[in-house]
């Protein structure tokens, strides 16, 4: 897979920290909700929060670490699949990237992207 076009690379770099914050806020709200469930024993809440954080750290690493042009398409697609990109965010990408996202969303599973990303790291 070729690297992204320069305008998409610039958008990718600009959105990276914004979307990382958005991702973190979303998951902190989920943790707050879980912690606020008085019907669950403290140990169970603790275990669920620990598991949730571990899973979210994996997602965070996959979507936000290793910022390179060669991984940018996969990261952008992961952001798209995770619902982190709003309409205004999508509009900042080139028409070509928007078309790729639309095509990928109809033909690929998130796991496919993870597998292809791992291949790219070798």
Mean pLDDT of all residues in 18-47: 94
- Report the domain count for the chain: 1
pLDDT score recorded for residue 113: 46
Residue 19 lies in a domain: yes
- Average pLDDT over the chain reads 87
- Domain range for residue 37? 6-121
Report which of residues 116 and 63 the model is more confident about.
63
Count the alpha carbons within 13 Å of 3 in the hemisphere toward its beta carbon.
10
DSSP state of 93: S
Q: Determine phi and psi for 117, rounding to 5 degrees.
A: -65, -40
Distances (CA, A) of 15 to 54, 94, 100: 24, 14, 18
What distance in Å separates the CA atoms of residue 84 and residue 97, rounded to the nearest whole number? Answer: 16
pLDDT tens figures, 55-85: 999 999 999 998 999 999 999 999 999 999 9
pLDDT score recorded for residue 104: 84
pLDDT tens figures, 97-109: 999 998 888 876 5
% of the chain beyond a pLDDT of 70: 86
What distance in Å separates the CA atoms of residue 53 and residue 31, rounded to the nearest whole number? Answer: 8
- Predicted TM-score of the model (pTM): 0.79
Note the Cα 50 to chain centre separation in Å.
20
pLDDT at 115 over 80: no
Residue 1 lies in a domain: no
DSSP state of 3: P
- The two tokens of residue 62 are 């996959």
pLDDT score recorded for residue 3: 79
- The two tokens of residue 34 are 């879980």
Residue 73 lies in a domain: yes
pLDDT score recorded for residue 107: 78
């Amino acid at each position: 897979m070729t690297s992204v076009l320069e305008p998409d690379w610039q958008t990718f770099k600009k959105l990276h920290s914004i979307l990382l914050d958005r991702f973190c806020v979303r998951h902190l709200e989920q943790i707050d909700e879980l912690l606020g469930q008085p019907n669950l024993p403290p140990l169970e809440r603790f275990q669920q929060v620990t598991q949730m954080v571990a899973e979210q750290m994996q997602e965070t690493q996959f979507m936000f670490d290793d910022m390179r042009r060669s991984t940018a398409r996969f990261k952008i697609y992961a952001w798209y699949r995770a619902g982190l990109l709003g309409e205004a965010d999508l509009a900042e990408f080139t028409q070509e990237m928007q078309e790729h996202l639309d095509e990928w969303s109809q033909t690929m599973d998130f796991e496919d992207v993870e597998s292809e990303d791992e291949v790219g790291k070798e």
